[in-house]
C-alpha cells in the first residue's frame, strides 16, 4: 500500500514531464518551475486535507491529461463521475486546488518570460518571447530608426520629446482575482525568481523554500471569493494601489532608461522633465455609464482621495531629497528666497522626524525644500479633512493647489545646481522628483467623466419644456443644433433651481456641479457614450457653461456600434464646420472608438475593419479642417473586446492615426498584467513608448485597393453571418443562456456595475464583458471567430486567386496579420469537445442540432484560417505560447467538467449524483468548514462556491476574463 502511494505521489510529477511539451530552447525552465510549484502545493494539500484528497486531485489531473491526449469524450464522463461523487466540502477543495494550480502555472510562466528576457539582454540579443515582431525594446527601436530607416538621431529625439501616451485605468469588471491574493502571488513570484538565482547559498535556499511554502499555503487558505460587490470607491482604491506599488517609482526609472538609450544613438541630452511622454488618467469613480452606483459624491471622494495619495507620495520622498541636497553653493535667486523663507519659518516642527528644527540659511536647498515639505503636509491633511468631514481648518493658500506651484521651487533648485557646476547632482533624485511632478501633478491622475448621451438629452428636454419651448427630445437634429448654439453664444443663464428634476436629471446636474467646485486639474475628458450627432457634444458644452465649470473639460464623443462608427466621420465634420465649436477647441479634438460593443454588434472581423476605416476617415476630416486629432482606443483585455499584444496593436493601426498622441484604456485584469510588479510596469511603459514612436516615424503600409475591396466584401458576409445567428436566429438566446454560465456570472462580484444596461432585454442589452466572459468559460469563444469562416469561404469560392491574395495580405499588411494571429491564438485556447459536454448536460435536446451546427462552423473556420495563414498547425510559429497553453490545458479541463456538472446540479432539481461510499468512520473534516463560508446560498450546500471557483480558475487559465 505504502509503495503504491509513493508511486502515486510521484506520478503527477512524472505525468507532468510526460505531458508537457519538450524544452523549446536551452533557456527553457518552464516545466521545472511549474513542477516545483506543483510539488509544493500538493504537499500542502495533503498536510491540510489528507491523502485521499491529494489522490483525487491527481486522479482528476490524469483523466484530464488523457482526454487532452486522445480527445476521448469518455474520459470527460469518467472525470464527471469522480467530481460529482465528492461531498460538498471536498468538491470546493478540488475546485479551489485546480484554480490555485492554474494561478501557480501563470506565475511560473511570468518567471520564465522574465528569465529568458534577462538571458537575451545579457547576450545583447533582443528576440523576445513571442518573436521579435511582438516586442519593442526602447534602445532597439532607436537603433532601428537610425540604422535601418535612416532617420537622424535629432529627428528621433524631437519626435520622442513631443509624443504623449496617456494610459487610462478603468474599473471594468474583469479582474476576477482578489487583491489579497494578487499580493501573495507577487511574493510567490519573487521567491521562485530568487530560488533560481546563480549566487544562492544553501541557507538562502532553505529560507526561500520555507517562504515559498508559506506564501503558497497563505494563498490557498485565503477565501478566493468576494462575498460582497466592490463599491466604486473600492475599485478606485484598488486601481490607485498600483501607483503606490509600481507606477510611482516606475516612471522615473523608465525615463532614465530612455536617457541611456538616447546615448546609444549619440544624443547626450536627457528627455526634458516636462516632456509629456507618459500620462495617466482614470475612469474609476468617473464612469457612470450604466452604473448607478457612481454618484456625484463618489466622484468627489475619488478626486480628494487621489489628491491625498499624491501629496502623501511626494511627502514620503521629500526628506530623502533634503538629505541629498546638502550643498551650500547656490545662485543669488535661490539664496534670496532661502533668506526670505528663513525669516518667516517656524523655530521647530515637532511632528517631523528629520529636520524638525529651523533649517539655517547656510543650507539653502534644504530651506527651500523644507517649505515644500510643509506645503505637502498641509495639502495631504487638507484633502484628508475634506474627505472625512467635508470641511478643513487648513487654509488653502498654505497648500499646493496646482502643479505649477509645486514645480516652481523644484525648478529653482535645479537651475541653481546647474549654474554652480553641479548638474550631475541635479540630474539625480531631484530630476526623478521633477519627472514625477510633471507626470502625476497634484491630482495623481486625471479623472475622465463618462455618461450616456440620452441622459444629457433628458436634462435639456426638461429645460426646454420648463421654458415653454416644447420637447427638445422630439426636435430634429438641425433644430437642436440651432437652439444649443444660440444659447452657447448668449450670455443669460438658461435655468434656475426651479427646473422640475427627476432623480436621474439631478444626478447629471450634480455631477457638473462637482466638476465646477473641484480644481480643474482633477479632470481629463468628458466622454459621451452612444454619441451619434453634433448636438450630443454641444449639449455637454452648454451644460458645462450653465453649471459654471470655470475650465470646461474637453468633450469626447465615443462611437461604438457599427452604424455609429460608419456615421462618425460625417458627424465630426459637421461639428468642425460650426464656427463656435471650431473656436472653442483650439485646433485639438479627441475621439474615442469602442472595441467591445462594435465586436458584440457585428463580430470581430467586421468590427476590426470598420474601426480601421473609421480612423482613416476621421483623420482625413480632421486634416481638412486643420484639427489635430487624438484617437482614444477603448480596448478590453480579451480578443473579443479588442485586446492583444500592445506592440502589435499599435503598429497595426492605420498610418497617420497616432501621430505621437495615443490614449488607451487599461482595463480590469490587464492592469495587473501591465503594472502588477516593477518589471511588468517597466515593460508596459517601454512597449507603449517605443511602438508609438515607431508608428509615427515608420508608418505601416496602407492596404492596396484590391485588399480593401476584398475586406469590404468579406466584412459584409461576416456581419451577415454573425447577425443571422446572434440576433436573428430565434433559438440563439435560449441556447446561449443554457450552454454557458452567463446567468450565474453576476455571483462573482467582480465589479460595481450591473451586467446589463437594461435588466429585461436580450443579447442587445447584455454588456460586452459578460457576453465574452460566458463564451470564454466554455472555451468556445464564439464572438471572436463567428463570421470569419463564411467570409473566407465566400472569398475563395468566388475566385480561387483570392486565397493567394489573402496570403499576401497576411504576410504584408500588419493589420490583417494581427487580426488573423489573434484569432488563431483564440482557437488554440478553444476546445469544442468541452463545449459539447456543456451542451449534453445543460442544453435541451431540441437545441442539440443547433449546437452541433455551431461546432461544425468552428472547425470549418479553423481550417480556413490555417489555410489563409499558411500554417499546418495552430501556433506553429509561436512554440513558447503553444507550450504554455498545452501545460495549462489539463488544469482547465478539470475545471470545465466540474463547472458543467455543477451547473447541471444547480439547474436541474431531478439530477441525482452517486455519492462516493465512505470507508472510514465519519470525522470532522477541514473541508466541511468551507461550506459554512456561504450560509445564505439559495442552492444546495457547496454548489455556488464550487461554481464560482471554477469560473475564477478558468478565467486564470484563459488569462482573460471578459
Residues annotated as catalytic are 172, 600
Q: Are 164 and 661 in contact (CB under 8 A)?
A: yes
Q: Is 779 left (phi over 0), alpha (psi -120 to 50) or beta?
A: left
Smallest CA-to-CA distance from 685 within 109, 136, 127 is with 136
Indicate the SS3 state at residue 800.
coil
Rg (CA), the chain: 30
Indicate the SS3 state at residue 621.
helix
Q: Phi, psi at residue 352, to the nearest 5°?
A: -95, 150
**Cα–Cα distance measured from residue 912 to residue 918, given in angstroms and rounded to the nearest whole number:** 18
Q: Are 451 and 289 in contact (CB under 8 A)?
A: yes
Q: Are 638 and 960 in contact (CB under 8 A)?
A: yes
Strand partners, 926: none
Question: What sign results for the dihedral spanned by CA atoms 63, 65, 66, 71?
Answer: positive
DSSP string for 518-558: S-GGGEEEEEEET--SHHHHHHHHHHHHHTT-SSPPEEEEE
DSSP string for 32-99: HHHHHHHHHHHHHHHHHH-HHHHHHHHHHHHHHHHHHHH--HHHHHHHHHHHHTS-HHHHHHHHHHHH
b (16+ CB within 10 A) / e for 700-709? beebeeebee
**Cα–Cα distance measured from residue 339 to residue 502, given in angstroms and rounded to the nearest whole number:** 59
DSSP 8-state symbol, 594: E
Smallest CA-to-CA distance from 413 within 354, 363, 459 is with 363
Smallest CA-to-CA distance from 723 within 806, 609, 605, 851 is with 605
What are the cell numbers at 672? 495587473
Q: How many other CB atoms are found less than 10 A from the CB of residue 928? A: 17
Alpha carbon distances (Å) from 181 to 177, 225, 238, 244, 933 = 7, 10, 13, 17, 17
Indicate the SS3 state at residue 309.
helix
Write the burial class of residue 357 (CB in 10 Å: 0-12 exposed, 13-18 middle, 19+ buried). exposed
Write the burial class of residue 795 (CB in 10 Å: 0-12 exposed, 13-18 middle, 19+ buried). buried
**Cα–Cα distance measured from residue 96 to residue 224, given in angstroms and rounded to the nearest whole number:** 8
**Cα–Cα distance measured from residue 565 to residue 609, given in angstroms and rounded to the nearest whole number:** 11
What are the cell numbers at 389? 468631514
Alpha carbon distances (Å) from 902 to 11, 55, 907, 935 = 28, 21, 9, 18
What are the cell numbers at 22? 519538450
Q: Which residues contact 269 (CB under 8 A, 6 or more apart)?
A: 157, 262
**Cα–Cα distance measured from residue 250 to residue 245, given in angstroms and rounded to the nearest whole number:** 9
Contacts 24+ apart (CB under 8 A), 72-79: 73/833, 73/836, 73/837, 76/833, 76/834, 76/837, 76/893, 76/897, 79/893, 79/894, 79/897
Distance between alpha carbon 406 and the CA centroid of its chain, in Å? Answer: 31
DSSP string for 113-136: HHHHHHHHHHHT----TT-GGG--
Alpha carbon distances (Å) from 634 to 207, 524, 642, 671, 781 = 45, 15, 8, 14, 20
Amino acid at each position: 500500500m505504502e509503495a503504491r502511494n509513493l508511486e502515486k505521489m510521484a506520478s503527477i510529477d512524472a505525468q507532468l514531464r510526460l505531458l508537457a511539451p519538450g524544452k523549446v530552447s536551452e533557456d527553457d525552465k518552464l516545466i521545472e518551475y511549474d513542477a516545483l510549484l506543483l510539488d509544493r502545493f500538493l504537499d500542502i494539500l495533503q498536510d491540510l486535507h489528507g491523502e485521499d484528497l491529494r489522490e483525487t486531485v491527481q486522479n482528476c489531473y490524469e483523466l484530464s491529461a488523457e482526454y487532452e491526449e486522445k480527445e476521448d469524450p469518455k474520459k470527460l464522463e469518467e472525470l464527471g463521475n469522480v467530481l460529482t461523487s465528492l461531498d460538498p466540502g471536498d468538491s470546493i477543495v478540488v475546485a479551489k486546488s485546480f484554480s490555485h494550480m492554474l494561478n501557480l502555472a501563470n506565475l511560473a510562466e511570468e518567471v520564465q518570460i522574465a528569465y529568458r528576457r534577462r538571458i537575451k539582454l545579457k547576450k545583447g540579443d533582443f528576440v523576445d518571447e513571442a518573436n521579435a515582431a511582438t516586442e519593442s525594446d526602447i534602445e532597439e527601436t532607436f537603433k532601428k530608426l537610425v540604422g535601418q530607416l535612416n532617420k537622424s538621431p535629432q529627428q528621433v529625439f524631437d519626435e520622442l520629446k513631443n509624443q504623449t501616451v496617456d494610459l487610462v485605468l478603468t474599473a471594468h469588471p474583469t479582474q476576477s482575482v482578489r487583491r489579497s491574493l494578487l499580493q501573495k502571488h507577487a511574493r510567490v513570484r519573487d521567491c521562485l525568481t530568487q530560488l533560481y538565482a546563480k549566487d544562492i547559498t544553501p541557507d538562502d535556499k532553505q529560507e526561500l523554500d520555507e517562504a515559498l511554502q508559506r506564501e503558497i499555503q497563505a494563498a490557498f487558505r485565503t477565501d478566493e471569493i468576494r462575498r460582497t460587490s466592490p463599491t466604486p470607491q473600492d475599485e478606485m482604491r484598488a486601481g490607485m494601489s498600483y501607483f503606490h506599488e509600481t507606477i510611482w517609482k516606475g516612471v522615473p526609472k523608465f525615463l532614465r532608461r530612455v536617457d541611456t538609450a538616447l546615448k546609444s544613438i549619440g544624443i547626450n541630452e536627457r528627455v526634458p522633465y516636462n516632456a509629456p511622454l507618459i500620462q495617466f488618467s482614470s475612469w474609476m469613480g468617473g464612469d457612470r455609464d450604466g452604473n448607478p452606483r457612481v454618484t456625484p459624491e463618489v466622484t468627489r471622494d475619488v478626486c480628494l482621495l487621489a489628491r491625498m495619495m499624491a501629496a502623501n507620495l511626494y511627502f514620503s520622498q521629500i526628506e530623502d531629497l533634503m538629505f541629498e541636497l546638502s550643498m551650500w553653493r547656490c545662485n543669488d535667486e535661490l539664496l534670496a528666497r532661502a533668506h526670505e523663507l528663513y525669516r518667516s519659518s517656524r523655530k521647530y516642527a515637532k511632528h517631523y522626524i528629520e529636520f524638525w528644527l529651523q533649517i539655517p540659511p547656510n543650507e539653502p536647498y534644504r530651506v527651500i525644500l523644507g517649505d515644500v515639505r510643509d506645503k505637502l503636509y498641509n495639502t495631504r491633511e487638507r484633502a484628508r479633512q475634506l474627505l472625512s468631514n467635508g470641511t478643513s481648518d487648513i487654509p488653502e493658500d498654505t497648500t499646493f493647489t496646482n502643479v505649477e506651484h509645486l514645480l516652481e521651487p523644484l525648478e529653482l533648485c535645479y537651475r541653481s545646481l546647474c549654474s554652480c557646476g553641479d548638474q550631475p547632482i541635479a540630474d539625480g533624485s531631484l530630476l526623478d522628483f521633477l519627472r514625477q511632478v510633471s507626470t502625476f501633478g497634484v491630482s495623481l491622475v486625471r479623472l475622465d467623466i463618462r455618461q450616456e448621451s440620452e441622459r444629457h438629452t433628458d436634462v435639456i428636454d426638461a429645460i426646454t419644456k420648463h421654458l415653454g419651448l416644447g420637447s427638445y427630445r422630439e426636435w430634429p437634429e438641425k433644430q437642436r443644433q440651432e437652439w444649443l448654439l444660440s444659447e452657447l453664444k448668449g450670455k443669460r443663464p438658461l435655468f434656475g433651481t426651479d427646473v422640475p428634476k427627476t432623480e436621474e436629471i439631478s444626478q447629471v446636474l450634480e455631477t457638473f456641479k462637482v466638476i465646477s467646485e473641484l480644481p480643474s486639474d482633477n479632470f481629463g475628458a468628458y466622454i459621451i457614450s452612444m454619441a451619434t450627432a453634433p448636438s450630443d457634444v454641444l449639449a455637454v458644452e452648454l451644460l458645462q457653461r450653465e453649471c459654471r465649470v470655470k475650465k470646461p473639460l474637453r468633450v469626447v464623443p465615443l462611437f461604438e456600434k457599427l452604424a455609429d462608427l460608419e456615421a462618425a466621420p460625417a458627424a465630426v465634420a459637421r461639428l468642425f464646420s460650426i464656427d463656435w465649436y471650431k473656436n472653442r477647441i483650439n485646433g485639438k479634438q479627441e475621439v474615442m472608438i469602442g472595441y467591445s460593443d462594435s465586436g458584440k454588434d457585428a463580430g470581430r472581423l467586421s468590427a476590426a475593419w470598420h474601426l480601421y476605416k473609421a480612423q482613416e476617415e476621421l483623420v482625413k476630416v480632421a486634416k481638412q479642417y486643420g484639427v489635430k486629432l487624438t484617437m482614444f482606443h477603448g480596448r478590453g483585455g480579451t480578443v473579443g473586446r479588442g485586446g492583444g499584444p500592445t506592440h502589435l496593436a499599435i503598429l497595426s493601426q492605420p498610418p497617420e492615426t497616432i501621430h505621437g498622441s495615443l490614449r488607451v484604456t487599461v482595463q480590469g485584469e490587464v492592469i495587473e498584467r501591465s503594472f502588477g510588479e516593477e518589471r511588468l510596469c517597466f515593460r508596459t511603459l517601454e512597449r507603449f513608448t517605443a511602438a508609438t514612436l515607431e508608428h509615427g516615424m515608420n508608418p505601416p503600409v496602407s492596404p492596396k485597393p484590391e485588399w480593401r475591396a476584398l475586406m469590404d466584401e468579406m466584412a459584409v458576409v461576416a456581419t451577415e453571418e454573425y447577425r443571422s445567428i446572434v440576433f436573428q436566429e430565434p433559438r440563439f438566446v435560449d441556447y446561449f443562456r443554457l450552454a454557458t454560465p452567463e446567468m450565474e456570472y453576476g455571483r462573482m462580484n467582480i465589479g460595481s456595475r450591473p451586467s446589463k444596461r437594461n435588466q429585461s432585454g436580450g443579447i442587445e442589452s447584455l454588456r460586452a464583458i459578460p457576453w465574452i466572459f460566458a463564451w470564454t468559460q466554455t472555451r468556445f469563444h464564439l464572438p471572436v471567430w463567428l463570421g470569419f469562416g463564411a467570409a473566407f469561404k465566400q472569398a475563395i469560392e468566388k475566385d480561387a486567386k483570392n486565397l493567394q491574395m489573402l496570403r499576401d495580405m497576411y504576410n504584408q499588411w500588419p493589420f490583417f496579420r494581427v487580426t488573423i494571429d489573434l484569432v488563431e491564438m483564440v482557437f488554440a485556447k478553444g476546445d469544442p469537445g468541452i463545449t459539447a459536454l456543456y451542451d449534453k448536460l445543460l442544453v435541451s435536446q431540441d437545441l442539440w442540432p443547433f449546437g452541433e451546427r455551431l461546432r461544425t462552423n468552428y472547425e470549418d473556420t479553423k481550417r480556413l484560417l490555417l489555410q489563409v495563414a499558411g500554417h499546418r498547425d495552430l501556433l506553429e510559429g509561436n512554440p513558447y505560447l503553444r507550450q504554455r497553453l498545452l501545460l495549462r490545458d489539463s488544469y482547465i479541463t478539470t475545471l470545465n467538467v466540474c463547472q458543467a456538472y455543477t451547473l447541471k446540479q444547480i439547474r436541474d432539481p431531478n439530477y441525482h449524483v452517486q455519492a462516493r461510499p465512505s470507508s472510514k468512520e465519519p470525522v470532522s473534516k477541514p473541508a466541511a468548514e468551507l461550506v459554512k463560508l456561504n450560509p445564505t446560498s439559495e442552492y444546495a450546500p457547496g454548489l455556488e462556491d464550487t461554481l464560482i471557483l471554477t469560473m475564477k480558475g478558468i478565467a486564470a487559465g484563459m488569462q482573460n476574463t471578459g
